[in-house]
């Protein structure tokens, strides 16, 4: 297969996926039982006409297919609409939330990758001995704990040392940039830690098995026979090849950073995209939901595509 063909095919597939997701997102939330304006119109002093006026304002009085066409038209112009619940543009709501989520989730993911690779390599290296058993079992345990449970446990036991909610201390008056940075990092500590704990196990297991596979290869045996030092064998020969599946996994899991934030952000009241999605679901805020799911979809599809392309670049066998 020619390289260009492969790339074009992958990109086209990604675009179709996004389009299908947009359509499903549009109808999915409208099929959910529940009503977008009911919440908003049910305030004690509201007039009876208020509810209807909201429906008209939001275009909910139009037939579904017309709403869908309007949605597509506006989306193609880059307009994601206006949030039902706070009347502000969806994109500005989302951008704010995303900018809050990305640093926390990135820190957590980087920690997970580092811990996962180190423990995975060590496990493979010391295969079969106690440290391998401990590390592998821990990895499986953290991988299987429900995220919100782990988050609550961390919160209860560690909030004496680190802030348990929010992103900054709002009462820190006129902080210097350094103080602000420290403050944000302190707030980020627990949610990022939970992020890292829930993710790292997967890396450990994949890195370990990839390492074991490469350590069993003939060229490793040859290197041993040649008297190459063990450390060099592991790092130079085995680890580099074991990175192949790891890279894919990293790219794939980056796509879920945003999605994975929902449970963690809810526990730690982190004002990010997960929190925004949670609130939008309870309020049936269709434009926010569509916008947030579009962002989720695009991030997953994008990183999948990236993984495909990276793999293509890293592993010449694919072109064969």
Partner 1 sequence: MGARRRPVTYLVLLPVLVLVLSACSGTSEEGGGTTGAGGVKQGGVLRLGTSSGLTSLNPFVGFNQDDYSVWMYIYPSLLQYDTTTSSYDYMGGFAQEWEQSTDGLTVTFKTVPNATWSDGEPLTAEDVAWTFNMIKQYEKGPTGAWAGSVTFLDTIEATDDNTVVATYEQPSGTALFDLGMTMILPPQVWEQYATGDGKAIRAFPNEPEGGEPLVGGGPFILTEYKKNDIALFERNPTYYGTKPYVDGFGLQFFRDEDAMITALKTDQLDAINEIPPTSVETLESAGMEVYKGLGLSLRDLIFNLDPEGQQRPELLDPQVREAMEYAIDRDAIVETAWLGYASPGSTIVPEGNNAGGVDWHDPSVQPLPYDLAKANEILDSLGYTRGSDGIRVAEGRPMEYEVVFPLDEAGAGDRAFRIMQQSFKEIGITLIQKRLDTNAAWNAMYDRGHYIFDLAMWDWFPAADPDFILAVLTCDQWGNWNDTGYCTEEYDKLYKEQKSAVDPTERQQIVYEMQQLAFKDRPYVILTYDTRLDAWSPKWTGFVPTIQGIFNNFSTQSLSLVHQA
- State the residues that interact with partner 1 by CB under 8 A: 32-35, 38-51, 53-54, 57, 82, 85-88, 93, 96-97, 152, 155-156, 159-160, 163-168, 170-171, 265-269, 271, 275-276, 278-279, 282-284
Least separation in angstroms between CB 284 and partner 1: 5
Least separation in angstroms between CB 54 and partner 1: 8
Q: What is the DSSP track for 49-75?
A: HHHHHHHHHHTTTS-HHHHHHHHHHHH
> Please, which residue, 255 or 260, has the CB nearer to partner 1?
260
The pair of structure tokens assigned to 243 is 């990175």
Q: What does the angle CA 312 – CA 301 – CA 25 come to, to the nearest 5 degrees?
A: 160
Least separation in angstroms between CB 11 and partner 1: 35
SS3 161: coil
Total Cβ atoms within 10 A of residue 267: 21
Least separation in angstroms between CB 136 and partner 1: 31
Alpha-carbon separation of residue 280 from 2, 28, 86, 276 (angstroms): 45, 14, 11, 6
> Please, which residue, 48 or 218, has the CB nearer to partner 1?
48
> Please, which residue, 21 or 36, has the CB nearer to partner 1?
36
Least separation in angstroms between CB 53 and partner 1: 4
> Please, which residue, 164 or 209, has the CB nearer to partner 1?
164
> Please, which residue, 210 or 292, has the CB nearer to partner 1?
292
Q: Where are the alpha helices (DSSP H) in 34-129?
A: 36-41, 48-58, 64-76, 90-125
Name the DSSP class of 159: T
């Amino acid at each position: 297969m020619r390289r260009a063909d492969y790339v074009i095919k992958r990109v086209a597939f990604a675009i179709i996926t996004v389009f299908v997701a947009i359509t499903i997102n549009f109808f999915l939330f409208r099929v959910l039982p529940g009503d977008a304006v009911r919440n908003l119109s049910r305030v004690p002093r509201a007039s009876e006409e208020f509810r209807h006026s909201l429906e008209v304002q939001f275009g909910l009085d139009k037939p579904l297919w017309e709403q869908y066409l309007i949605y597509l038209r506006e989306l193609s112009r880059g307009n994601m609409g206006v949030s039902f619940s706070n009347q502000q543009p969806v994109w500005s709501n989302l951008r704010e939330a995303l900018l809050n989520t990305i640093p926390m989730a990135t820190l957590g993911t980087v920690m997970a990758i580092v811990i996962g690779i180190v423990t995975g390599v060590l496990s493979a290296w010391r295969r079969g001995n106690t440290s391998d058993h401990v590390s592998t079992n821990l990895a499986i345990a953290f991988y299987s704990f429900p995220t919100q449970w782990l988050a609550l446990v961390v919160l209860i036991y560690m909030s004496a040392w680190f802030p348990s909610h929010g992103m900054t201390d709002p009462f820190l008056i006129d902080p210097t940039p350094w103080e602000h940075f420290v403050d944000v990092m302190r707030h980020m500590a627990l949610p990022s830690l939970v992020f890292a704990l829930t993710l790292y196990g997967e890396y450990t297991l994949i890195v370990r098995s990839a390492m074991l596979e490469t350590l069993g290869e003939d060229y490793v045996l040859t290197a041993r026979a040649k008297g190459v030092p063990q450390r060099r064998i592991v790092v130079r020969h085995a680890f580099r090849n074991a990175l192949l599946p790891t890279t894919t996994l990293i790219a794939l899991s980056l796509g879920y950073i945003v999605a994975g934030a929902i449970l963690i952000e809810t526990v730690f009241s982190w004002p990010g995209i997960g929190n925004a999605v949670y609130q939008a679901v309870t309020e049936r805020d269709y434009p926010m939901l569509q916008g947030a799911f579009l962002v989720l979809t695009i991030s997953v599809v994008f990183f999948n595509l990236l993984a495909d392309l990276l793999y293509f670049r890293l592993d010449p066998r694919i072109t064969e």
